[in-house]
Amino acid sequence: MLKSLQIEPEKCTGCLQCEMACSYEATGLFNPAKSRIKVFTFHEEGRFVPYTCTQCEEAWCMHACPVEAIVVNQATGAKEVLEDICVGCKVCTVACPFGTINYVQDTKVVAKCDLCGGDPECPKACPTDAITYVDADHTGLERMRAHAAQS
């Protein structure tokens, strides 16, 4: 059974522990700028919304890649970037409707959430359970759209 990240923004306090855990797992550095999950701050409302790749079933980033550097990990369902194949053209960054795949200046390739190989760090680091790793049937694009419509 595939699992995915479920994000409940109403529980987020903006502590950025998810960003710290992600950046450390991905790069070995505690640096939120290098995180593959971001916490968007709505300053006037005092709200925080974590967001990352939703591992879309119809992954536009994957279809847009001219060198087929984004592939599906059959074990986790994550769309993963093959860094040794990626040419850094950034077409996938334009194709992603959520802006969750980014060009990394240091490596000259793109990076996105890969679910940490099936054991994501962000839910473990979240003290309020705003991010959980659940059965994939409990999350998805429609839930994200419904939340966006409330904003």
Q: What is the mean pLDDT of residues 17-43?
A: 96
Backbone angles phi, psi at 5, to 5 degrees: -75, 135
Q: Which residues of 92-124 are buried (b: 16+ CB within 10 A; e: fewer)?
A: bbebbeeebbbebeeeebbbbbbbbeeebbbbe
Average pLDDT of span 46-70? 95
More confident: 33 or 140: 33
Q: pLDDT-based confidence at 52, cuts 50/70/90?
A: very high
Question: Which residue segment(s) compose the domain that 99 sits in?
Answer: 3-150
Q: What is the CATH number of the domain that holds 39?
A: 3.30.70.20
> pLDDT at position 138, please?
65
What is the rounded average pLDDT of the residues 92-118? Answer: 96
The answer to whether residue 128 scores a pLDDT higher than 80 is: yes
**Interval 127-133 mean pLDDT:** 97
Using only C-alpha atoms, the chain has a radius of gyration, in whole angstroms, of 15
Provide the CB-side half-sphere exposure for 124 (13 A, CA).
11
The number of folded domains in the chain is 1
Confidence of residue 136 (pLDDT cuts 50, 70, 90): confident
What value does the mean pLDDT of the chain take?
Answer: 92
pLDDT, mean of residues 15-21: 98
Q: How far apart are CA 53 and CA 114, in angstroms?
A: 8
Q: Quote the pTM value.
A: 0.86
Flag whether pLDDT at 1 surpasses 90.
no
